[in-house]
Structure 1
Amino acid sequence: MTLSVYLSGEIHTDWREQIISGADGLDIAFSSPVTDHAASDDCGVEILGAEPDKFWHDRKGAQVNAIRTRRGIEQADVVVVRFGDKYKQWNAAFDAGMAAAFGQSLIILQPPEHDHALKEVDAAALAVAREPKQVVDILRYVLTGNLPG
């Protein structure tokens, strides 16, 4: 059985690469939003035309990106959402809420200092992991029934 996993959330660390490399050998197809910040910000105006107002510039990009995000979340068996230390990831919270609304299996990856702020998000998740390796261990267990180590 191939497991489809959508990796959402912060784009400033290598957590996605850690999960993908850690899951090497497992039958998992990974997908994610566009993580090239400039491409993600400018996709709407690059494809649909310039906007003089930054609000409409950003809105066009958000709407074009939402096509990929909605499809990825809806088609995933598991959605992993990472909340990092550096920035407030409003988009990650929205993706977690969307995954919960779609009834997708949700894993949250966050540091302990975010526990209080994300308590409602965490309550919707089936697991809250602290490290990418824990996510890999969950995925391995789901696919094989084997515990780590």
Structure 2
Amino acid sequence: MELNVYLAGQIHTDWRNEVKEKAIAKELPLTFFGPQENHELSDKIGEDILGAQPNNLFRDDAASSINNLRTQVLMQKSDIVIALFGEQYKQWNTAIDASMALTLNKPLILVRPESLIHPLKELSNRANVTVETVDQALEVIAYIYQ
């Protein structure tokens, strides 16, 4: 049985590659989806498709609509969502994606460092499982196959 996993979270580090490499090493039959990792493309996709916008508000709104559609489609095709919260970047997109996973009734594994226990307590309480590392998240998934 192959599972589809949506990797929600910031796009500024290579944590997704780490997850993919570790899943291969564990021989887990997983297919991965995630947000658009090309930040420039993500920011300008609205204007690329709809044309020039009158100001940054409309530019961001156009791009957000298309990015949200993409996220919804890929998340709906996923069996599990892993949402990684890190300390280095603002995590608004991760919070939105984790909330979407809950709304879509997708099993959610929340990855967050110990320093974010308090600020993420409500979200952690709603997630199926909360862990501190991607290794632990993959162990949770590996357990499905045992």
**TM-score (norm: length of structure 2):** 0.94
**% of aligned pairs identical?**
37
Alignment-derived partner of residue 51 in structure 1: 53
Shift >4 Å, 4+ stretches: none
TM-score scaled to structure 1, two decimals? 0.92
User: How is 1:1-149 mapped onto 2 (pairs within 5 angstroms)?
Assistant: 1-24=1-24, 25-142=27-144, 144-145=145-146
2: CA distance, partners of 1:19 / 1:135? 9
Say if 1:19 and 1:135, in contact at 8 Å, map to a contact too.
Answer: no
Q: 2:94 aligns to what SS in structure 1?
A: helix
Task: Quote how far apart the aligned CAs of 1:87 are.
Answer: 2.1
Instruction: Give structure 2 stretches of 5+ with no counterpart.
Output: none
Q: Which runs of 5+ in 1 are unaligned?
A: none
Distance 1:113 1:126 in 2: 20
